[in-house]
Amino acid sequence: MGIEWSSNLATGVDWQDRHHKELFKRINRLLDAMSAGYGKDEVRDLFNFLDEYFVVHFEAEERAMNKYGYPETIAHLAEHTAFIDRIATLRKDFEKGASTGLVIKVQRQVVDWLINHIGELDKKLGGFIKSAETGKR
């Protein structure tokens, strides 16, 4: 039930692609843990890790946007905030009771967001960063 990183999601910015690959790996662990009915503590630990990891990743992207004057910074950051809120809601739902339906909901919402956000918005940001770093803006 996992998701796979593919080269068509690569932004071409090394640190950003490393972060994204790690996010895919961790999301897969979360989905596997939930699907296998692992204990709440283990799933909660994965949610906690994701919370921290999102902060690290999103802050790195924000620093790059500010450094290079990315014109779509506000919209991009709004997407990050919405995703953090979505994960918080899913965690609350999980704490109320794990179910197959919740696993499917987590997979659908998180996977769709990651693929769409990375495949569109982050690729666009990555192109902007690469151009700015090489002075070809």
When divided into structural domains, the chain yields a total of: 1
Q: What residues make up the domain containing 122?
A: 12-134
Structural domain contains residue 4: no
Structural domain contains residue 5: no
- Structure tokens that stand for 29 in this block: 């662990």
- Dump pLDDT digits (tens) for 39-79: 677 777 878 888 888 889 999 999 999 999 999 999 999 99
Q: What angle do CA 118, 37, 81 make, to 5 degrees?
A: 30
CATH number of the structural domain spanning residue 120: 1.20.120.50
In whole angstroms, what is the distance from residue 59 CA to residue 77 CA? 10
Buried b (16+ CB within 10 A) or exposed e, 97-119: ebeeeebeebbeebbebbeebbe
Structural domain contains residue 120: yes
Structural domain contains residue 71: yes
- Dump pLDDT digits (tens) for 113-129: 888 899 999 999 999 99
Structural domain contains residue 57: yes
One-letter amino acid of 83: F
